[in-house]
Amino acid sequence: MESISSGSQGSTMKHITRGELQRYQVEVPELEAEQRRIAEILSTLDEAIEQAEALIAKHQQIKAGLMHDLFTRGVTSDGHLRPNSLFGFSAGCDHYYHGHGGPMLCGAKEPH
């Protein structure tokens, strides 16, 4: 920079002639190659963001399903989800009775 300044003219505002400037070699990076590399990096970042957003959406769906199970089934005293139920009764029953078209009741015996 000092060598350019020494070749400049003027006291208030320095000037340099084209001829004087052409004596200096200025290295400029290859813009096309550099721009390609920047574009590759940005594309990689975009892909990573899309993958992260997909994972977030998937986890939100899982959370919604778990919250639904929690609020519809409830939890046992030891903190586990209650088993699925049919009309409010445990699905683990051996037999059901739906007497006269009514709802099926767990453990109800058919009247004799």
Q: What DSSP element (H or E) covers 54? A: helix 31-73
Q: What DSSP element (H or E) covers 90? A: strand 89-90
Tens of pLDDT, residues 48-58 = 999 999 999 99
pTM of the model: 0.44
**pLDDT-based confidence at residue 94 (cuts at 50, 70, 90):** very low
Q: What's the rounded mean pLDDT across residues 80-93?
A: 62
Contact 15, 9 (CB under 8 A): yes
d(CA 86, CA 3): 91
Contact 60, 51 (CB under 8 A): no
Of 11 and 75, the structure prediction assigns the larger pLDDT to 75
Cα torsion at 59, 63, 65, 67 (round to 10°)? 180
Tens of pLDDT, residues 38-48 = 999 999 999 99
